[in-house]
A and B are shown apart, each in its own frame.
Chain A
Amino acid sequence: MRKQVFPALCLVFFAATSAFAGEALKLATTTSTYETGLLDYILPPFQEKYGVEVHIISVGTGKAIKLAENGDVDLILVHAKEAEEKLVKDGCGKARRGIMYNNFVILGPGGDPARVSKSKDVKDALRNIARMKHVFVSRGDDSGTDKKEKSLWRKAGLEPCGGWYLETGQGMSATLRIADEKNAYVMLDRATYLFNKDKIRLSPLTQDNDRDLFNPYGVIAVNPEKNPHVKYKSAVALIEWLVSPECQGMIDTYRVNGKQLFFADAIE
């Protein structure tokens, strides 16, 4: 009798838990596409059309890529082109498509003590901030934005460290909030900035046409050859939806406070 109790309990446990194990498609994405509400705008038509539910796990790009490598999600929507291409080259990712872009901006406090707006480009701006040792808040979480920011510091020939350089380890909105509370400089994608514009005091100081601040988003399916359990077909269907003229049009028309956050670029 006693011998049967444990297996029976295990059975009950797994019966109870497996009832919740979902059949939905798992999409890991960078915080900027989720927190700005874009995905909640463009995904419902897909879910209706295909009857596939999409579960969004909103993490940094670095974490999303890790999740793809481990096969814990079915596809990812991120913004770190080099890391994305490496994922495909290593055979973990498949069917990469660029779907949209916007650009990064550097925000700073009123009065612009490091004279970022007067700098000739973003590298110069970062050098000015470093020279002034004015507080700069960084994600520090290996996200797409974080990778981009670190690469810009490298391009500027600097390695930021010291009490003025703060790494939060949190999502974009949280980091922005911290920067705002501290009256600091911060770099972020335009979408997250526009979405939060009314809740902060910091203002944008960089030029929109700076090539170094270009921010392309790509979508990649997890390669079923490495992780046979992934829902590759559904993932490809979702990618096809994202690059379809209909969805691309929706991305272009998505507005927050009357501003366009993302620019579709899957169709040449």
Chain B
Amino acid sequence: MLQNVNPTDPVVYNLWHVITAVDDLTPGVPQETALLGEPLCFVLSESGEPIVWKGKIADQTSEDKNARVRAQLKYGYIWVVLGEPEFEIFDIPEYVEDGRRNMNAISVGLNTSAPRVVENFLDMAHFPFVHTDLLGEEPHTEVSEYDVDYNPEEREIWATNCWFYQPKASAASEEGVLAEYKYRVPHPFCAILYKTSPDDDTRLDAIAVLVQPLDETRVRAHLLLSVIDHQNELDKHIRLFQQTILGQDKPILENQMPRRLPLNPRAETPIRADKVSIMYRRWLRELDLHYGVIREVA
């Protein structure tokens, strides 16, 4: 049962959201999904155009002009907006850089809210405990001081100068490295991380999480990779690494209570390592976003 979109939240209603990766789609075969509590159908036309409409396939509303939803292809995904878009989809300049491999690593269902997924994506302190021997290992648990900044013109949060010891930072790494991370939050439900590329120390791999809110407490997380990797011949090896990482996060995320992200500062206990999440929660409050969060101060 889907919970309907909170009509008092025009913020999410007027944003572009991802509803599917296009890699595996067969043109002409419609499929069902949901966004913000609204059941949706989508299909790629024979010419590769995305067509998206409200309802179920059985409703046969695909030709109904009133059911049509604004849609576009970008970064290998279909993006839709249910309301009136105020902003364009954010830019990922790395996606068009030469020598990068772009792919959707995984789309996975998670029983939690979109902001909880974004916050987990922005967190380094859990690496040794959740991604043991891959992104972190005990006793190397320290999160050193890093910088967080909000850019009001771009409407983006940046966390920079983040360093963390990693035994195996990516599919292409063979030994432990002190990995540098940068985080960027250009959308309430999307975040991008940049980290030292094991194959080219002058460039950074980009990994984006694009969260599709099915409803307030159920999402699909799509992981977009734009990486420099000459070692793994097959995309599936690169994907497998990211699938492992997300598979480790899933049980943690689904055991976070409450599922909606509490914006009341007294709901949870931040530490210095959580600087970026403090900024993220403050930003969601200032955006007047209601969907997938708990705003009330008890």
**A associates with B:** no
B-contacting residues of A (Cβ < 8 Å)? none
A-contacting residues of B (Cβ < 8 Å)? none
